[in-house]
């Protein structure tokens, strides 16, 4: 079972929202094939919308959790995943603060806060 909740707070003029990614064994293939399709867009230098960017972050978070990565390793990987250059105009401002709460299988839950200042990507936890 995969559960990732992304609570998003952007610029003051954008509304807060939450996206839940929850998949059992049957839907897991869809989750990762969707992430692969978005990663293919990146390889073609296409820019991502909000939902696509969140999917990239969530799939990387899940892969790292499954591989037994430490919180520091996850933070490092997420910080290198995307830049404002990979996103459509307005997406970095919409994803200014993203708080991930993730639970993958029997592993302990993890909480990470992602902060995306305009023009760069940096993480804290």
Cα separation, 92 vs 84, in Å, equals 6
Query: Could you give all domains of the chain from N- to C-terminal order, each with its CATH number?
Result: 2-124 (3.30.280.10)
Which parts of 1-125 fold into alpha helices (H)? 28-43, 50-66, 71-81, 91-94
- The 3-state DSSP class for residue 112 equals strand
pTM of the predicted model, to two decimals? Answer: 0.85
Q: Tell me what percent of the residues of the chain surpass a pLDDT of 70.
A: 92
- What's the gap between Cα 84 and its chain centre? 14
DSSP 12: T
User: Is the pLDDT score of 84 beyond 70?
Assistant: yes
Distance in angstroms between the alpha carbons of the first and the last residue of the chain: 24
**For all residues of the chain together, what is the average pLDDT?**
86
- What's the gap between Cα 121 and its chain centre? 12
pLDDT band of residue 79 (cuts 50, 70, 90) is confident
Which residues are bridge partners to 1 per DSSP?
none
């Amino acid at each position: 079972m995969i559960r990732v909740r992304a609570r998003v707070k952007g610029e003051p003029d954008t509304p807060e929202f939450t996206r839940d990614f929850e998949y059992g064994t049957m839907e897991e293939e869809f989750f990762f094939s969707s992430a692969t399709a978005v990663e293919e867009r990146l390889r073609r230098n296409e820019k991502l919308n909000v939902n696509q960017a969140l999917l990239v972050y969530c799939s990387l978070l899940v892969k790292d959790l499954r591989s037994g990565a430490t919180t520091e390793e996850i933070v490092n990987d997420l910080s290198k995943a995307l830049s404002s250059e990979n996103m459509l105009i307005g997406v970095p401002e919409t994803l200014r603060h993203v708080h991930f709460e993730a639970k993958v299988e029997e592993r302990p839950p993890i909480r990470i806060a992602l902060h995306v200042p305009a023009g760069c990507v940096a993480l804290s936890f």
